[in-house]
């Protein structure tokens, strides 16, 4: 690397030895060359990093643009407010939107309290040890279980064993089970981010550990917990596999009247239109329209979560 320049030359020059003006220039030139090379390397590295970041955004933009391009034409008031007609080749997707919203709300209502309670126990009360490690291992493995397995579990346990049938209840509980690990993980992260000094201040004032959790810890952690909860459920709400055996049906004329009714849902509707219809080519615009609505719904939920979090942060700061 150091063919020219380097220490010996520099020392000679500095000592005012036999180094001529020409030699001096070679040393300076070598240093300048090295500097240019480092600059080029840095520019190249930054370019690569910037490109990867851009690729991520591009993928999202591309997917949304593609679906928008193909689906925007069918999405209108008709499409959003009417049930499908003519063997699903025409009409709207109202039952699917309502079904997915109901499933998401049901999943939030059941998974959120359970997940929050579990996270509070794990992070605030459980004594560290083998049992705690085992539970944590279980939760992180649960997060890696494929969604179709959750679907089969939901069918075996909720639909058949508990006799809930193919219903809103079974589907919501299955989605809840699936989003639990995400909710617990996000809640634990939010609880860990609460500075210990709040816990100490509270306990030193004679608060019990339970009071400390409810009055000093949870208010600080709540924005993060809520966001995590909504993100977890919105992720699950877009899944087809967990609901195809537990809640969703090919076609049902009305909206569910009770939690024991079966329903239509957006992800399953897309799957049905794309694979099982009689006129797949004819329904293609409807498929894109449904996909667009589903994406809008999921992104909307995420956006709401993010906005709510920043609202809470501003209020508490």
Partner 1 sequence: MNAVPPAAVKAAARRLHFYYGSVAALQDVSIEFPARRVTALIGPSGCGKSTFIRCLNRMNDLIPRTRVTGELWLDGENIYAAGVDVVDLRSRIGMVFQKPNPFPKSIFENVAYGLRVNGRKGREFIRRRVEESLRKAALWEEVKDRLDASALSLSGGQQQRLCIARALAVEPEMLLMDEPCSALDPIGTQKIEDLIVELKTTYTIIIVTHNMQQASRVSDLTAFFYLGRLIEAAETAQLFSRPRQQQTEDYLTGRFG
Q: Which residues in this chain contact partner 1 in the complex, by CB under 8 A?
A: 127-128, 195, 197-208, 211, 215-216, 219-220, 316-317
Least CB distance to partner 1 at residue 220 (A): 6
Q: Which long-range contacts (CB under 8 A, 24 or more apart) does 194-199 make?
A: 194/220, 194/221
Q: What are phi and psi of 252, to 5 degrees?
A: -145, 135
Minimal distance, residue 199 CB to partner 1, in Å:
8
Cβ at position 309, least distance to partner 1 in Å = 15
For the chain, helix, strand, coil in percent to 5 are 75, 0, 25
Measured distance CA(61)–CA(26) in Å, rounded: 52
**CB of 198: closest distance to partner 1 in angstroms?**
6
Residue nearer to partner 1 on the CB measure, 31 or 205: 205
Which of residues 104 and 217 has its CB atom nearest to partner 1 in the complex?
Answer: 217
User: Per the structure block, which two tokens stand in for 186?
Assistant: 């996000």
**In the complex with partner 1, which residue's Cβ is closer, 31 or 201?**
201
CA separation, residue 52 to residues 49, 66, 182, 218, 223 (Å): 5, 21, 26, 37, 30
Query: Whole-number minimum distance, CB 223 to partner 1, in Å?
Result: 11
Closest by CA position to 110, among listed 169, 42, 38: 169
Structural tokens at position 139 = 């939760």
Residue 111: burial class (beta carbons within 10 Å; 0-12, 13-18, 19+): buried
Q: Which is nearer to partner 1, 47 or 195 (CB)?
A: 195
Smaller CB distance to partner 1: residue 54 or 210? 210
CB of 211 to partner 1, least distance (A): 5
* Closest listed residue to residue 316, CA positions, set 219, 251, 191, 238: 219
By C-beta, is 130 or 163 nearer to partner 1? 130
């Amino acid at each position: 690397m150091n063919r020219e320049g380097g220490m010996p030359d520099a020392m000679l020059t500095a000592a005012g030895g036999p180094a001529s003006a020409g030699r001096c220039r070679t040393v300076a030139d070598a240093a300048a060359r090295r500097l240019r090379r480092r600059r080029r390397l840095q520019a190249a590295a930054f370019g690569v990093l910037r490109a990867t970041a851009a690729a991520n955004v591009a993928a999202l933009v591309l997917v949304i643009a593609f679906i928008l391009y193909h689906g925007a034409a069918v999405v209108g008031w008709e499409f959003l407010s009417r049930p499908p007609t003519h063997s699903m080749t025409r009409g709207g997707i109202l039952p699917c939107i309502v079904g997915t919203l109901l499933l998401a709300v049901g999943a939030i209502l059941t998974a959120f309290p359970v997940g929050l309670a579990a996270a509070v126990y794990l992070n605030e009360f459980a004594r560290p040890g083998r049992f705690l490690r085992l539970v944590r291992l279980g939760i992180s493995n649960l997060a890696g279980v494929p969604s179709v397995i959750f679907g089969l579990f939901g069918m075996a346990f909720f639909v058949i064993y508990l006799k809930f049938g193919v219903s809103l209840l079974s589907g919501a509980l299955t989605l809840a089970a699936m989003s639990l690990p995400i909710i617990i993980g996000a809640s634990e992260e939010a609880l860990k981010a609460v500075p210990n000094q709040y816990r100490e201040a509270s306990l030193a004032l004679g608060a019990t550990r339970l009071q400390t959790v409810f009055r000093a810890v949870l208010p600080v952690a709540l924005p993060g917990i809520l966001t995590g909860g909504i993100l977890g459920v919105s992720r699950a709400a877009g899944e087809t596999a967990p609901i195809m055996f537990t809640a969703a049906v090919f076609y049902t004329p009305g909206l569910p009247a009770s939690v024991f009714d079966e329903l239509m849902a957006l992800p399953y509707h897309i799957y049905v239109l794309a694979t099982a219809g009689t006129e797949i080519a004819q329904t293609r615009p409807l498929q894109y329209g449904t996909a667009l609505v589903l994406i809008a719904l999921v992104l909307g939920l995420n956006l709401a979560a993010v906005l709510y979090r920043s609202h809470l942060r501003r209020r508490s700061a």
